[in-house]
Amino acid sequence: MATLPKIIKTKATVQQTMSVEIVDEYGDRHTKEIACEHPLTVYLNWVEVVTLMTLGERPSALVLGYLKNQGFINDLSAIESVMIDWQTNAAVVITHENTENLAQQLEKKTVTSGCGQGTMYGNVMKKLEGITLPQPQIKQSMLYGLLEALTHHNETYKAAGAVHGCAVCKGTEILSFVEDVGRHNAVDTLAGEMWLQQQTGEDKVFYTTGRLTSEMVIKVAQMGIPVLLSRSGATQMGYDLAKKLGITMIARAKGLRFQIYNGSDNIELDVKGNVSEGKQG
């Protein structure tokens, strides 16, 4: 059992949505909610690493998940404290050990397709070579039950739009759902939560409203989750990595529709008769 870091939060807070006045196509004025973006600059042992634009829903988990997924920290016990201060828009992570290779890692940056601000540092791809994922069998009926349950967990999107949602699920149960202005933030937050709670991913399904890009596949593999489900589509590199890593990739999943891009042998098509209704329209 790893020793958990001390989480320090100042009294300053941020709002996730705000009301603005808009004018529609008829010239009528309305009050609408819009999603907020807050810069959060991450410091590791007082060295600036990155500035994330986020809703600010679960900043501690976001920061830890980001640092873990980028390979900056691999051992939870190595972290002494995490401080979040929205007054200065800063997150400071202090470790028990020196991060001697930090400057070298920061130089090896690859900009990804993560809504314009995704990045991958260091030798993340090399670390994937040691990952072996299980091949769980999943029923079509379970997927439908999960997709139905997920429709009740996107409150910020319903109120304001302009956000992505991600979830860690087990069967039809949604263990945790996160919304943020970027899907990369949402997946990092869930990775951080799983890390803090010391959960494993072999019996989980990861859901996202965003595209299944290489960045998304890499992070889900790092979480040890073998099944990736999305309402959106897949990219070429995301598809290639899913095949290489053995991730069951299901895209365009909404209502009764879905498309299996990889791992079709792991899906039991146990729903008969009414599936054709989902093909209408």
Would you say 281 and 171 are in contact if contact means Cβ atoms under 8 Å apart?
Answer: no
Would you say 174 and 167 are in contact if contact means Cβ atoms under 8 Å apart?
Answer: yes
Show Cβ contacts of residue 232 under 8 Å, excluding neighbours closer than 6 positions. 208, 209, 210, 211, 212, 251, 252
Q: Which member of 36, 115, 166, 169 is catalytic?
A: 115
Would you say 44 and 105 are in contact if contact means Cβ atoms under 8 Å apart?
Answer: no
- The secondary structure element, H or E, covering residue 34 is strand 29-35
Is residue 166 flagged as an active site residue?
Answer: no
Q: Dig out the tokens for 84 from the structure.
A: 């979040």
Would you say 152 and 165 are in contact if contact means Cβ atoms under 8 Å apart?
Answer: no
Residue 170 — left, alpha, or beta (φ > 0 → left; ψ -120 to 50 → alpha)?
beta
Residue identified by tokens 């069951």 is 248
* Type of residue numbered 269: L
- Residues belonging to the active site: 115
